[in-house]
Amino acid sequence: ALTTEELKQEILSYDQNDTHVQAFNAIAEQWGARPIKVISKALDVPDMFRRIAAKRKLRVTLFKGSLDDVIRYDLPFIVVTRITGDLGDYCYAVTSAKNGSLSLSPALFDNTAISMNDLSTIANGTFYLVWQNFDQIPDSISKGEKRFEIKALQRLLKQAGYYHDLIDGDYNTVTAGAVREFQHSMGIADNETMGELTLAALTRFDINHKVPSLKGN
């Protein structure tokens, strides 16, 4: 086990902008998106990170909780640390999670693997899920709405095991109820109109696209 002070000194020994660029590129690689080669501005998180991700059709969604909680989403994510530099808090990419060990990018102590316990000591409880909204499902849907994109939502809910009705594009009581059930299963606060976090969580059930899995599923 590493001490918090050892981790802090190791993190501070690296240029923060380089750290954030490498973290971004690790996530981009997971999604098959193009990496950053040259950057003229400082890459801070989440503002610049989010803008560059959007140009690659990637979404960046805030999540607050524990390391265990964010790993349940089974998507690559950015962990914000308690270590502060000129660009704010240092941030790292987590791209896999197996048997209590995480793949971290960039590497620390020349090792891309870090234990969950060690990372927990420096994580500040703020994370950013990075995902792709392949079917352009709206973040917010009102009950009674009928639109083509809702069919994609119903398919995802069906693949997740929470929707068993017609794929008809109607955001009716049954569909909204399936959304609520799914949210409960993920520990997401009830929000019948969906929300970005719910959509991000549903991404891993998309069988029509290649979605990176933290756990290698």
Cβ contacts of residue 4 below 8 Å, gap of 6+? 121, 122
* The predicted structure's pLDDT at residue 216: 87
d(CA 4, CA 50): 28
* The predicted structure's pLDDT at residue 179: 96
Placement of tokens 């959304």 in the chain: 179
Per-residue pLDDT of the chain (217 residues; tens, 9 = 90+): 789 999 999 999 999 999 999 999 999 999 999 999 988 789 999 999 999 999 999 999 999 999 999 999 999 999 999 999 999 999 999 999 999 999 999 999 999 999 999 999 999 999 999 999 999 999 999 999 999 999 999 999 999 999 999 999 999 999 999 999 999 999 999 988 899 999 999 999 999 999 999 998 7
Residue 109 tokens read as: 């102590």
**190 with 210: CB under 8 angstroms?**
no
Amino acid at 45: V
* The predicted structure's pLDDT at residue 193: 86
Reference 171, options 137, 198, 203; nearest CA is 137
